[in-house]
Amino acid sequence: MASASAHAQKLPAGFVYLRDIDPTIIQDIRYAGSNNFVGRPLRGYQAAECVVKREVGALLKSVQEELALQSLSLKMFDCYRPVRAVADMVTWSRDGRETPAQKRYNPSFSKVDLFRLGYIAERSGHSTGAALDLTLVDLKADNSATFDSSKDYGDCIANVNLRAPEGSVDMGTGYDCSDVRSHTSAKSITADQRRWRQKLVLVMARRGFVNYSKEWWHFSLPGAGGQAYDFPITPRK
């Protein structure tokens, strides 16, 4: 406990590193690396760590305990997001360039339309520490495949065997896929994919988390937000 407190003191009051709450929750913080729609780390992501409000972390621990009984785990893609990272996304969307690797994430339209269509927000709930991007991992499956930036993967709505590997269950699209198939209740996915989405929504809803209808991976905890923050995500020490 003393160690956890020492870590928490490096963050603003009320924020914690999720690893200090539950180290069994898998983390793949995508904006801290190159495996994301921008293709590089976003501003403010100095470490691949999930930072959340303390009450959010406690509820995630409860979710994880339930999933563990089914040989499943949460996997976190993004948690607290600095305001400067949101601004970085806005700048990227307006730079007039779109590489094939970036296009994998929005195969049906231009990136300048991401904000208008509601796939990216200029003011993100992530910056309050009360919004999350996550998925489920089947711990009995082979999750060893890793992302290789030199490979030419299929786009985010392609068959799971053609998409970039995410080491998680097949939800029908990749993470951060800006497409109607990413809508949580999309009809154009298989029955198995729909069941996985429903399982994720239900297990999160039992702790009060609300899903965003256009993104099967995005959840927020009403009442736990508040002001937006801009402190960088730094390594735990």
Binding-site residues for Zn(2+) sit at 126, 133, 218
If DSSP codes are grouped into helix, strand and coil, which group holds residue 152? coil
In 69-214, alpha helices (H): 83-93, 100-103, 191-205
Whole-angstrom distance, CA of residue 73 vs CA of residue 118: 28
Q: Of the listed 55, 66, 122, 215, which one is catalytic? A: 215
For 33, half-sphere exposure in the C-beta direction (CA atoms, 13 angstrom radius) is 12
Question: Residue ranges for the binding site?
Answer: 126, 133, 218
In angstroms, the Cα distances linking 160 to 73, 105, 109, 153, 174 are 19, 14, 21, 10, 8
Q: Quick check: is 55 catalytic?
A: no
Instruction: Report whether 114 contacts 178 (CB < 8 A).
Output: yes
Strand partners, 217: none
Strand partners, 26: 75
Whole-angstrom distance, CA of residue 38 vs CA of residue 32: 11
In 133-228, alpha helices (H): 191-205
What are the φ and ψ backbone dihedral angles of 212, each rounded to 5 degrees? -90, 125
Residues 6+ apart with CB under 8 A from 97: none
- Residues with catalytic annotation? 215
